[in-house]
């Protein structure tokens, strides 16, 4: 897929920290329960750390106790790209930023959470930046 933001690998490496690069550009996962936004209750908008596109809002964030920030819906239906992921001997759905193609996490359905969509977007904190809502 062609993205609005495309950069050579060397530029991504220069702009992101090694940990950010590993998650965003190499589809890595940060360790559970250590992410900056796992337990935050701050209201605002979560954007892609790589390109700044708005991805999620605090209105759809919920407590899943899975170790990563969880959302039940992206900010806009076209904010994310969903891709089948058959790595690690399982079938999952990868979530990428539709603006730059960066890996954000995975989405799971039918887990029984009391959310309007019955989905859990399990997103790496390191893949996002939170802009707090203005009071």
Residue-wise pLDDT tens digits, 67-114 = 999 999 999 989 999 999 888 788 889 999 999 999 999 999 999 999
What is the token pair recorded at 89?
């001997």
For residue 32, the 8-state DSSP code is T
Residue 28: inside a domain: yes
Residue 61: inside a domain: yes
Residue 3: inside a domain: no
CATH of the domain at 60: 2.170.150.20
pLDDT interval class at 134 (50, 70, 90): confident
pLDDT value at position 120? 96
Residue 1: inside a domain: no
pLDDT value at position 30? 96
CB atoms within 10 A of CB 7: 15
Alpha carbons 104 and 121: distance in angstroms, whole number: 9
For the entire predicted model, the pTM comes to 0.93
Please tell me the total count of domains within the chain. 1
pLDDT value at position 135? 67
Instruction: Give me the chain's average pLDDT, please.
Output: 94
Residue 48: inside a domain: yes
Range of the domain at 97: 9-132
Residue 2: inside a domain: no
Residue 37: inside a domain: yes
In the predicted model, is pLDDT for residue 35 greater than 90? yes
User: Which amino acids are annotated catalytic?
Assistant: 122
């Amino acid at each position: 897929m062609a993205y609005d933001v495309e950069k050579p690998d060397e530029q991504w490496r220069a702009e992101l920290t090694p940990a950010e690069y590993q998650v965003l550009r190499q589809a890595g996962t940060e360790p559970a329960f250590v992410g900056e936004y796992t337990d935050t209750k701050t209201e605002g908008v979560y954007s892609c750390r790589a390109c700044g596109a708005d991805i999620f809002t605090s209105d759809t964030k919920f407590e899943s106790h899975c170790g990563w920030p969880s959302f039940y819906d992206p900010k806009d239906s076209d904010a994310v790209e969903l891709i089948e992921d058959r790595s690690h001997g399982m079938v999952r759905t990868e979530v990428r930023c539709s603006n730059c193609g960066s890996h954000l996490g995975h989405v799971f359905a039918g887990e029984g959470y009391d959310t309007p969509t019955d989905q859990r977007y399990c997103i790496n904190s390191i893949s996002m930046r939170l802009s707090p809502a203005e009071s």
